[in-house]
Amino acid sequence: NPDIISKYIFEIEIPQNADNQLKTIVINQQQNLETITFFPERSQAFIITEKERSIDLNSTIKTEGKNEIAVTLLQPVKSGEKLKLVIVGRNPMYGGIYQFGVTVYPEGNNPQPLYLGNARFAFDLRGGRY
């Protein structure tokens, strides 16, 4: 099936000693053989404590020369909490390692970004989107 839709899950733990609350997460697909299609309207966010609690968000795609999804949380994540972010996308047609840069922005008027590093997804089958 050439249209396999998957959930890409990112978990971000906010340190106990963090000065600011987490407000926005930007996930940027780094250049690869194929651009993954994101479905921002299907994104979900959860705060994980003893159980998962859903939180509201706004999610948009930026495509000016890059493929990234920006997720703004309507309820910021506090220090000591863990965020589970679910991004929905169409798996690539071609197998390989696909990397995504993850940058977070705290709450506030002039938030300074913090680059957390790369998330890597491996797609094994060529031509299958499985």
pLDDT digits (tens, 9 = 90+) for 48-82: 987 889 999 999 887 777 899 999 999 999 999 99
pLDDT band at 19, cuts 50/70/90? confident
Decide: 54 and 44 in contact? Cβ < 8 Å. yes
pLDDT band at 126, cuts 50/70/90? low
Residue 48: other Cβ atoms inside 10 A: 14
Q: Is the pTM of this model over 0.95?
A: no
Whether pLDDT at 95 is above 70: yes
